[in-house]
Amino acid sequence: NDSIFDVCPFVVRKKHGTQNIGINHLNVIRNFIKGSKTFGESYNLKELIRKTLSEEEFEQLKASAKEVVVTVSNLSLNQVEYKALSDFQYEEFCEWVWISCNYTPFMSLVRKNGCDYADGGLGTMVPIEEAIKRGATEVDAIILQTEVTQLNRMPSRNPFSLLTNMFAFMLDRIEHQNIRIGRFVASHNNAIINFYFTPTILTTNSLIFDKQMMLEWWQSGFDFAKYKNKELSQLE
């Protein structure tokens, strides 16, 4: 979590094999005293993005025919916006990537161009429709949950866990809606969608970042997608 948060708003406790989160009261109070509008701050993530995507790699992508687009939510104008790498210089694009990851109110809210911006997932979790509008005829959609719902969340133990559960529920509904709309748009534009779901439930709290666990998730998902490619035909 230190690579993500410079002000972490919660503490994680393991009990009976599950991870429970609680409010880090000291950090949250300090953040509010400083005038922040969110429980935590995620400026460390901004630095991590700069380390992960070098300026040289950025220029290589810009010179290629590849189109890299991130999704952000404009809370001031109540709309979802798409930011393409080709439209920006390195520093500004890194900032848009960072904004697209900021799961408010637990992570930083960014004021930019006179508007408040946050994670694009608050408006669009799976932007299949936008990909097809931009000319895609085949879309690989990676869905970070199982194909069949198998989740029974633990009871909320405090206001913080209640808030995270509520957000998770709303984002799950948004994701399902995006998939339905994507299928509809694909069927009317002769596009193919390849859906890749996870073989197991990864986590019940996407705010907990464990490097080793996340590496295992990535490998598991990669192997499962490879198997699905061999066994199943394309889904439309």
Q: Which residue has the higher pLDDT, 133 or 235?
A: 133
Give the span between the Cα atoms of 193 and 140, in whole angstroms. 6
Distances in Å between the alpha carbon of 56 and those of 12, 35, 84, 87, 93?
Answer: 37, 36, 17, 16, 13
Q: Is 219 helix (H, G, I), strand (E, B) or coil?
A: helix
Tokens of 81: 């916006």
Q: Which residue has the higher pLDDT, 1 or 166?
A: 166
pLDDT at site 235: 41
Give the span between the Cα atoms of 42 and 160, in whole angstroms. 18
Q: Which residue has the tokens 């393991």?
A: 14
Give the span between the Cα atoms of 12 and 161, in whole angstroms. 11
pLDDT tens for residues 38-93? Answer: 999 999 999 999 999 999 999 999 999 889 999 999 999 999 999 999 999 999 99
